[in-house]
């Protein structure tokens, strides 16, 4: 059973130093049912408690499918209860799979945003959003070379003014990102998003080893309380099944330094640092063409051969010389 592995690691570390206050510390880290989606999904009747559905989304007894492996689909699920927790962890168990071996897309996103249930072009949701997007992009829309491979996970913070640019796969608005192969696994795949003390940490568990691997960490990220969690996915010319198996939201403890009476509801989403738009620079100096590379390698080979031949000739001359002197 997958249950708060990240919290458990912290539990061990903290327990070494803070054994006396541990009991209290641990009881305050707990799962918030009203922000979670777990099996069995359906309550009484057809509705799923605390979640609304949009577009192509279907609910079965084993998964919530945002899109099927068909072209031009788009679906989303949105939590109905705003999140008033200051420090939280969202663990998402997901499965992205399809028939495509080399061609598949487009990906999905996990949201913490002001507006919910808004259909749009950013993996099935609204562009110019307010809040946080964790994008799991499976298809590279970029024609030139990226500095990274796909699938790729990235984080974006928006105050409503930024456009998610698909042509650049969002690279010039992302805070940070990491490559992550997460398609077509038989074992469970998980994502963890921790927002604690204004620090955002995204980790993955993709290898079936039951261990988190850090993907990105960004400090000085400001997000207000009162936004909504959601997940959305889209397919275009290329497709995949984008399934959400479970979402678990854990309320994390307030830090000593945090004032529990502070009103965080009017904060404008912001992040102190943007990642430099690396791939734009890359574009201005095109990579060597195949022919150029071949000629270059040939030149290097000829130079090496000439040096070796000259070396042998010089060595033989020297040997002759010394023989002449000896006899
Ligand atoms: C919104 O974000 C943009 C880009 O980061 C920034 O230039 C602008 O000042 C922000 N606006 C507000 C109201 O915070
Ligand atoms: Ca993309």
**119 CA to middle of ligand 2, Å?**
18
Q: Structurally, how many domains does the chain consist of?
A: 2
* pLDDT for position 293: 80
* pLDDT for position 145: 66
* pLDDT for position 167: 93
Residues in the chain: 327
Which of residues 230 and 292 earns the better pLDDT score? 230
**167 CA to middle of ligand 2, Å?**
7
- Give yes or no for a contact between 59 and 53, defined as CB atoms under 8 angstroms apart: yes
Neighbouring CB atoms inside 10 A of 159's CB total 15
Assess if residue 226 is contained within a domain.
Answer: yes
If you take atom 1 of ligand 1, which residue's CA is the nearest one? 159
**Do 118 and 158 fall within a single domain?**
yes
Q: Which of 156, 161, 218 to mutate to test the pocket of ligand 1 (most atoms within 8 A of CB)?
A: 161
Which residues span the domain enclosing 199?
A: 31-271
Element spanning 297, H or E? helix 290-326
Average pLDDT, the chain: 87
**Do 181 and 47 fall within a single domain?**
yes
**Do 86 and 134 fall within a single domain?**
yes
If you take atom 10 of ligand 1, which residue's CA is the nearest one? 159
Whole-model pTM: value is 0.77
- The percentage of residues in the chain with a pLDDT greater than 90, rounded to a whole number, is 73
Find the residues whose C-beta lies inside 6 A of ligand 1.
159, 161-162, 268
Element spanning 27, H or E? helix 22-27
**Do 14 and 136 fall within a single domain?**
no
User: What pLDDT, in 10s, does the model give residues 219-231?
Assistant: 999 999 999 999 9
**Do 174 and 79 fall within a single domain?**
yes
Residue 171's CATH number: 2.60.120.200
d(CA 138, CA 206): 15
Assess if residue 237 is contained within a domain.
Answer: yes
**103 CA to middle of ligand 2, Å?**
12
């Amino acid at each position: 059973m997958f249950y708060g592995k990240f919290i458990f690691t912290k539990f061990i570390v903290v327990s070494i130093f803070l054994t006396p206050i541990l009991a209290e510390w641990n009881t305050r880290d707990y799962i918030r049912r009203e922000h979670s989606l777990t099996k069995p999904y359906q309550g009484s009747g057809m509705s799923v408690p605390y979640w609304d559905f949009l577009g192509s989304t279907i609910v079965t007894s084993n998964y919530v499918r945002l899109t099927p492996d068909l072209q031009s689909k788009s679906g989303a699920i949105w939590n109905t209860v705003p999140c008033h927790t200051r420090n939280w962890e969202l663990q998402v168990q997901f499965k992205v799979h399809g028939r495509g071996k080399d061609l598949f897309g487009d990906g999905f996103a996990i949201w913490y945003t002001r507006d919910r249930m808004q259909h749009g072009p950013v993996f099935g949701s609204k562009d110019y959003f307010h809040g946080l997007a964790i994008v799991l992009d499976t298809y590279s829309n970029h024609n030139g070379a990226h500095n990274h491979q796909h699938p790729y996970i990235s984080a974006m913070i928006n105050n409503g003014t930024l456009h998610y640019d698909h042509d650049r796969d969002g690279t010039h608005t992302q805070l940070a990102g990491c490559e992550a192969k997460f398609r077509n696994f038989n074992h469970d795949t998980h994502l963890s998003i921790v927002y604690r003390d204004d620090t955002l940490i995204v980790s993955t568990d993709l290898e079936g080893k039951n261990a988190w691997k850090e993907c990105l960490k960004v400090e000085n990220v400001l997000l207000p309380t009162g936004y909504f969690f959601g997940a959305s996915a889209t397919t275009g010319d290329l497709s995949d099944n984008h399934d959400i198996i479970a979402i678990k939201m854990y309320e994390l403890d307030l830090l000593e330094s945090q004032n529990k009476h502070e009103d965080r509801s009017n904060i404008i989403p912001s992040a102190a640092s943007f990642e430099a738009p690396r791939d734009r620079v890359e574009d201005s100096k095109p990579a060597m063409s195949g022919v150029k590379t071949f000629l270059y390698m040939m030149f290097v080979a000829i130079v090496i051969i000439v040096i070796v031949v000259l070396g042998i000739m010089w060595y033989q001359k020297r040997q002759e010389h010394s023989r002449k002197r000896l006899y």
